Amino acid sequence: MRRFILLALLLPHLTRAAEPPEKLFAKENLVAWCIVPFDAAKRSPEDRAAMLDKLGLHKFAYDWRAEHLPTLERELAAIKKHNIELTAFWFPGSLDKDARFILDALAKHQFKTQLWTMVSPKADSDTAKMVAAAAGSIRPIALEAAKIGCTVALYNHGGWFGEPENQIAIIELLKKDATPITNVGIVYNLHHGHDHLARF
């Protein structure tokens, strides 16, 4: 049976101007994503880091489920040992106990990364209320992330929150805080952007 790794191409990592297309998908521009919860082989953190190293993939976005949190510190130690950058971390949409545990582990191991998150504000016909509710959920995450040198990226996984216009409105509102929040941006997953193709 063949096993696959989902790779993300993160365009912000391309710092050189107008690279030829063949270099766009070079290994140094690829980020392994979704390999923790969807690994049919159920690799250990150490085996996963060794696999990425062997494949020459040295950027990693950590997607997880509750069952993976007990091995998070082993994961962080393993990727550090194999010189793998923790490019991003899938993050809860509120500062619950899992979120606190993740922040503590990242701080302890001195990882400064992007926290990819999404929230689901209560549906309302008033878009401004939904933007304010979403900003209210993101604000404490962004403040805690900033304390340990991390940024927050709003992740488009469909629905109202996945619309770029709504995400931009959330970011703009956060910038208007009494203490402006400036460590929030967008990570755009084309796989979840099928409805945007006509206006891409």
Distances (CA, A) of 92 to 23, 169, 184: 33, 20, 15
Task: Write down the pTM of the prediction.
Answer: 0.87
Spell out the long-range contacts of 186-190 with Cβ–Cβ below 8 A and sequence spacing 24 or more: 186/153, 186/154, 186/156, 187/10, 187/88, 187/114, 187/116, 187/153, 187/154, 187/155, 187/156, 188/156, 188/164, 189/8, 189/155, 189/156, 189/157
pLDDT in tens, 145-168: 999 999 999 999 878 999 999 999
Helix (H) or strand (E) holding 115: strand 114-117
Instruction: Tell me the three state secondary structure of residue 89.
Output: strand
**Which residue would you say has higher pLDDT here, 14 or 151?**
151
Distances (CA, A) of 199 to 10, 163, 194, 196: 21, 12, 10, 6
For residue 25, the model assigns a pLDDT of 84
**Residue 13: pLDDT over 50:** no
- Decide: 168 and 186 in contact? Cβ < 8 Å: yes
**Residue 169: pLDDT over 70:** yes
In this structure, what token pair is assigned to residue 41? 């082989």
Please name which of 47, 105, 58 lies closest in space to residue 85, comparing C-alpha atoms: 58
Percentage of the chain beyond pLDDT 70 is 90
DSSP for residue 192: G
For residue 8, the model assigns a pLDDT of 56
- Least confident stretch, 14-23, 103-112, 182-191: 14-23
Distances (CA, A) of 151 to 40, 59, 68, 166: 31, 16, 22, 19
Mean pLDDT along residues 135-149: 98
For residue 22, the model assigns a pLDDT of 74
In whole numbers, what is the pLDDT of the chain averaged over residues?
90
- Hey, how many other C-beta atoms are within 10 angstroms of the C-beta on 185? 15
Mean pLDDT along residues 111-128: 95
**Residue 77: pLDDT over 80:** yes
